[in-house]
Structure 1
Amino acid sequence: MIGCVGNDFIARSRKSSAVTSESILAFIAAVLSAALAVAAVLRNRRSGAAWWFGFGMLGLAVDSVLTGICLSLIGLEQLAFWQEWALILKAFLIAIWLGFAVTYSRGDAGESFRSWRILIAIACLLPVAALVGFRGDLIQVLVRPNSTGLWISFSSPGKIVNVAILVGTVLVLMNLERTFRSAVGTMQWRIKFLVLGLAVIFGARIYTRSQALVFSGHYNSLTEVEAIGLLVGCVLLGVGYFRSGFREIDVYPSRAVLHTSITVLLVGGYLFVIGVLAQIVARYGGATTFQLQAFLVLVAITLLAVFLLSEKIRQRAKRFVSRHFSRPQYDFRSVWTQFTQSTSSAIDDPTLCAASAKLISETFNVLSVSVWLFDEEKNKLRLEASTSWARNAVSDDTIEFPAIDPGFAKMRKAFDLEKVKEDWGRTLREITKTQFSEGGNRVGVPLLAGDRYLGLIILADRVNGVPYTVEELELLECIGDQVASSLLNLRLAKEIMLGKELEAFQTISAFFVHDLKNAASTLKLTLQNLPVHFDDPDFRQDTLRSIGATTNRINQIIERLGTLGGKLELRPSAVDLKVLVEQAIENLNGMPGIEFAKEFESLPKFMADSEQLRSVVTNLLLNAREAIGERGRIEVKIGAQDGWAALSVSDDGCGMTPSFLRDSLFRPFKTTKKKGLGIGMFQSKMIIEAHHGSIRVKSDLGKGTTFQVLLPLTSGKS
């Protein structure tokens, strides 16, 4: 849409387009952006983030071409047309750059992308909706009185698109900051210029979009800021490319970083600085020196970002405060609190070592911190964590070396690695090469827990190469001792856990051994009675049935062994307790010399695991038989008791002592039998409680024992 004021201006605006110095600047930025896109993709073809970056830089190149066209002397209709397409492209680029920001150098890139996929999809659909629904109505070109510039005014849909671009740009910068702040040491150094270059590019866009929202539009010349921003950003990106080739690192950012983001601070502080600079520039020429104004704006952004990201500047500021206010070099309480918080959740050696390396790097301003642990079996040191490179990016033959030199194992305090003349010192210097010539001497900190040697921490590439003070070396030794103690505790905890796992396996295995023992006892009784009653057809039939039932029981035990797990698994079905108990008694085949007394009341069927209950009944009957010896009486009762199915098994055997009943009866591997495993009652109690029932016992030493089992007659009873 075009608003016209003054025929002379319209006539001038309809002249053929001419390339200006401003448009040439935009075209140069477009060429650099496209070149960086191609270089990044060719360098890292297998990286998804590299393709996101490539498409994003190509999009910025096209956008810069549109900016160059708009900065040329073109007609009003053409300007409105190209400005509208530029706005749509800017909105669409947010989706691409958001995809890059949430996947670049992320160890969990897939998970990170999935958590942002809905927002990325919305960012893709918004420009499409604006193009389809409001094409031709997003932008209005006006000619203001007493002005030689064209004013780009935005309609309500255009303002919404501008808001989306501004919010999306802030989200992109917040995610890049999140990645940068999660990296430490040389890994942070490698990606610094890439993050800084993109911060300048998107910082310029935050400025132009905020101006468009504040004033409901902007002069056409304002887009030159974006061209300058892209040009400066490409220079910084080029430095990053020649520095590290856009290589990625693996970091796992914490969500807490977003809550302490400095991006919002940059955006707010940036607008404040812009206002001050605009007043300064206006005094020296106003709108006619807008190019100088844009340059000063970008310089302000760059200087602010460099100050916040530069380790050297931050270290010098810290030293200035320390020197002039005479405070201790380190707040030991703060350091110790940070160490405790960062290592308290570590559950293995790699996690603990990575957290320790990061803390040391941030505390002492050291870019390269590596933690080496001693492998006692191989008598070697192996790299466990490093701030210089990702652990999986180093081949095994470059991270291990023999550690058999007696002088190496005798190091008890922090030492200067450059001064070690032995072979092991030369080997360590070769595999921990410095990346900066001015990083100072490398320092080693042994990890000792008492007389046990656990490993070594090596510090290299200190910012500005500042020598370590006595206070710092003592603090490093203290941290090393704490790391060693934590490592030893983790290893002891692991050994205890393995012991518990073995104990649990032995306990569960003993359950099945006990069931097999009961089945074998049943077969043994049958074989003992077989010669005496072999001529009796009924006995032979009962014997075959008993052998078949016992065989099925053994097969079921084997089947359960195949699904062995830590939790008892029930297979409920309708159970007739009377039939189940009679079958268990019948399987024992009479037991010569034993008198059975049965008192069974009718009970309704209820839901339970019949095989597990049969195991309990068989165990109670065998225990009663062994308690009475060769001769005695066993009484079995079944009845209802207040809505519960009650089963009791009594014998007139030897009984048990009160102390055994109280302390040992239902505990595993506790038994009074000479050949017992001490598993039967423990397993029986587990089975009954899994059915939401209970088991009770009453015993008098020398008189006998009664076990009572209560099971719910309804599945909902507990």
Structure 2
Amino acid sequence: MELLGGLSYISYTIGAVVCGLAAIWIGRKGDSARADRTPAVVALALTANWCFAAASFVPGKPIVELTEIARNLSWLFLLFRLFGNDGRDETLRLVRPAAAALAFVEVLQFLLLLISRNYAVTPELAALTFETAALFRIMVAVGALVLLHNLYVGAAATSRQILRWSAAALAGLWAFDLNYFTIAYLVGAVPGELSILRGIAAAIFAVPFAFGFTANTSDLEFRPSRAVTFRFLSLLLIGGYLAAMLALARWLDMLTGDLARLTQVGLIIAASALALIWMPSNRLRGWLRVTAIKHLFKHRYDYRSEWIRFTSTIGTTGFDNIPLQERVVKALADITDSPSGLLLVPDEEGQLELAANWCWEGAEVPLQAAPAVLGKSLETSELILDFDEARAGIDRQGELAHIPDWLLHDTRAWAAVPLLHFDRLVGLVVLARPLVARKLDWEDFDLLGVVGRQLASYLAEQAGQTALLEAGRFDEFNRRMAFVLHDIKNLSSQMSLLLRNAEKHADNPEFRKDMLVTLRNSSDKLNALLARLGRYGGGSAEKARPFDLAEIARGVADRLQRLHPVAVLRTEPVAVEGNPEALDQALAHLVQNAIDASDAESSVMLEIYSDGLSGKVTVIDSGHGMTPHFIRNSLFKPFVSSKAGGFGIGAFEARELVRSMGGRLDVESREGLGTRFTISLPLRAAHSLIGRAPSAEKTEVV
């Protein structure tokens, strides 16, 4: 009891101080244009007086009851005056009888106080008087809340801006009184613990009430963040769960014997299992977040938080972080709470291929993930694809016919966001369905469209930096090769001069014969090397001539099988047109790479055949294989090598040599199984029909 008395003293003292300061602050700094400022000061002052009396005297003393009656009458009069804030005199006339009735009920507390002091001589009469007083206070609280509701709902928009803080404080005040006196009426006594809190409650409600009387009250808004709202709702949900468990445990107390013990143990096990499985669930948290945003906020997204998270995701760098392509997917997925996503980028022919996979397990993406016509459609329409609509047969901009089947069949696919940079498609992000399913709306489309353009600029910037880096490396390579060309040219000239002098002055016929053969071969090789190097620098293509594809392939196989087993599995005469030296060099690069990737006892296999339109040479090895990511992003990148000490230009040079002859280079590889390179060159018979196309238009399928 002494502890409760001390806490009650502290609580009511705080209430008296805060209410007194609030009354002084409104009197000095409150909006002087408001007609209800004086009633507000009086109400707060009388509330401070009641708190002072409750802190000074024992509960139930007449002075405490009298000051509480005065406090309640002042708040009722203030509520009556609030109806006239926007000049609605007619409303005051209609509300006056209701306010007078509530004041009359409160005045009856004087009579009940007199009866309890002089005539309630028996416990039954005292209990009846107490219950009647509590019932009257419940009636006043309910009536005041009804009037307050009508005041706020019926107010004009400008008046609501003025009333919202005051109305919120008054609603809290009377809601607390309603619960307090309802409990008192039900238990037949004043709840001691709640009585202590009345002083603190008065202090808490006085603060927003005072804010409501500032001159700029219409600019004051309470806007809790989404994080605070979500945590509050989570705590509320946990509290409701604990309250339900407590109520159920109370009900089980009525059971007796072994049945009671068995039921209680079962309840504990079931409640613990439910708490461990349900409360940490991502689906539950997602549902709670979506529900809170839907019903408590004007906009779905907190744009400030989304922008901070977006910049943090994209701006994170370092060796331990995921590549930019995956960060692009993650940045979009975080906005919609999608658990995974894919990034498709256009290849040289405009067809979309997989470039990044972020947390999408078991994704079966074909080599050509989407046709080029879909990319063109998204470029012109800037449409964000809703796959649920596509599955329902809804066609917005004619895109339905071009959406690949694998996306429609994979129910995880939810939306696709085009990444547009200067009206050019640089990527397409496929987002997985969120854990809490919902439909895309206009706010999703607006935000995803803006973020998509921003991400497209990052991808375009990275591509530009990569191109500049490659150009710089090529420039350095060309400068070095210029010196090499000069030295080789000097060597060739010297050897040619030596050959001419030897033809004139050599005396020994046998020595002269051997020397001439050796020098002539060396000179031919150097001149051939000069011709090939000159072709790279000058940009002019040699005239195509017919040759046998099988003969070149067998020559490369014979030359390299001294180092490693090379087997020709299938061969037939294939007449093609092109540059045999260039093909020899390209094929030698591919076979050498296959040898490097294979074990010492594992053979590299060649196949030479014709499909009726083109001649083909296939190089097959059973080495370690390559990942799709390496094939897409590194295999044909110059100066990128997976071999220690490799220059990283062999595969790139082979592809360029094949392209220069109007052909193409295809590659298929599986990790742990091996790799297959296929060179395709136009047959001599078909060459005159299809013509030589520019090399830029000839691309390979990777």
Q: TM-score, normalised by structure 1?
A: 0.30
Instruction: Name which one, 1 or 2, has greater alpha-carbon Rg.
Output: 2
Normalised by the length of structure 2, the TM-score is 0.30
